[in-house]
Amino acid sequence: MNPILQFGTSRFLQAHVDLFVGEALGRGEALGAITVVQSTDSAESSGRVDAFNRGGGYVVRVRGWQDGRAIEREQRVWSVTRALRASADWPAIRAEAARATRVIVSNTGERGYALDAADHAGLLDGDTAPASFPARLLALLHARFHYDAAPVTLLPCELVANNGSVLRDTVLALARRWALAPAFIDYLATRCVWVNSLVDRIVSEALAPAGAVAEPYALWAIEAQPGMVLPCAHPDIVVTGELAPYERRKLFMLNLGHSFLAEQWLLERRPADETVVQAMRDAALLARLDALWEDEVMPVFRALGEEGASRAYLAQVRERFQNPFLAHRLADIAQNHAEKKRRRFAPVIALAATLGLDLAQPRLRAALASEAARAATP
């Protein structure tokens, strides 16, 4: 059994959290190894589980530009030593969570916190995993509470603002709906440490059966909480008392920039296999993107008193978008495009209004209007 339990087998986690822990293990600065839980039954994730359990680690290829120089290296990651399937190994997962786990990490996708009507309180102590991630987490914490009620730190990595708080409230609401014991609900609320965090790294390709291709840049910003336990120490982990500026920079510059390029790719019916770096080589498109950042986004950061750090981050984003080594396809970025635009464009407009800024923001408004028109079309 391992002290770190991870929900998700994605290429992102392999090249970010798992790589961080692997590097820290080599320095003696990690809690220990990772047990991965396969949340879905896809063939790809099943192949990764089999590869993890064969041992021998997996490869992450780090390729790109950083501080004006080319970086290209290959690293073997040894941190994942056990992989279990929620559909087949639930009793073993429950036992590990109750007895050995000190940190739970997750990256379950944009809809990972959605509940499932099929879940019910009778699944809490059974050998069948609940369907939704919040219900699975509730079942594991319930087992832990009845074993010895030891504290546990939860570090969600989903791209949801205040993800730790949102996940906590979702799990607590489910526990109350199922009329679970007040002592257990108090344990969830006061002894479990729910941490907001932000992850930032472009991981453009998966390697088979396990592994990934990623850029050199990496950040895991973690909001400080009393009593929290981190999985490792790492130079790319930042513990901060205020996570919001990190979230704003990533959402309003990197994520927004990606979705703007995807919007142009869709509107202009650009080449099906176009990548971010290819789009950045189009001078006219690059000029529109720069104008978007400079005229419609940067005034918001200026009004917040965050212009200096934001300009430094934007310079890194430009360099990352022009990484010639990553095949980051706009078709991939364009998945769930309407929802991504709602999350990435609308908050910039709303924040500008809240700050009393008189900004036209024509590109952001046009992108949102095009989606509204599409939705209204019978």
Residue 204 makes CB contacts below 8 A (sequence gap 6+) with: 213, 214, 215, 326, 327, 328
Using CA atoms, how far apart are residues 98 and 146, in angstroms rounded to an integer? 8
Question: Are 286 and 266 within one domain?
Answer: yes
Cβ–Cβ < 8 Å for 220, 16 = yes
Q: Between vectors from CA 223 to CA 260 and to CA 201, what angle results, nearest 5°?
A: 40
Q: What total of structural domains would you count in the chain?
A: 2
Given pLDDT bands bounded at 50, 70 and 90, which one contains residue 297?
very high
Question: Are 284 and 363 within one domain?
Answer: yes
162: CATH: 3.40.50.720
Domain boundary among 208, 240, 272: 240
What is the per-residue burial (b if ≥16 Cβ within 10 Å, else e) of 275-296?
bbbbbbebeebbeebeebbeeb
pLDDT higher at 230 or 65: 230
Question: Are 232 and 93 within one domain?
Answer: yes
Question: Are 88 and 220 within one domain?
Answer: yes
Q: Between vectors from CA 10 to CA 337 and to CA 241, what angle results, nearest 5°?
A: 80
Question: Are 205 and 291 within one domain?
Answer: no
Task: Indicate the SS3 state at residue 103.
Answer: strand
Question: Are 186 and 83 within one domain?
Answer: yes
Range of the domain at 99: 4-240
Question: Are 181 and 305 within one domain?
Answer: no
Question: Are 39 and 125 within one domain?
Answer: yes
Mean pLDDT of the chain: 95
Can you give the pTM of this predicted structure?
0.93
Question: Are 88 and 223 within one domain?
Answer: yes
Indicate if the pLDDT at residue 378 is higher than 70: no
Burial class (CB in 10 A: 0-12, 13-18, 19+), 167: buried
Question: Are 167 and 25 within one domain?
Answer: yes
What mean pLDDT comes out for the span 12-34? 98
104-152 pLDDT per residue, tens: 999 997 689 999 999 999 999 999 999 999 999 999 999 999 999 999 9
Residue in the structure block whose two tokens are 């008193």: 305
30 φ, ψ (degrees, to nearest 5):
-125, 155
Residue 175: how many CB atoms within 10 A of its CB?
24
307-321 pLDDT per residue, tens: 999 999 999 999 999
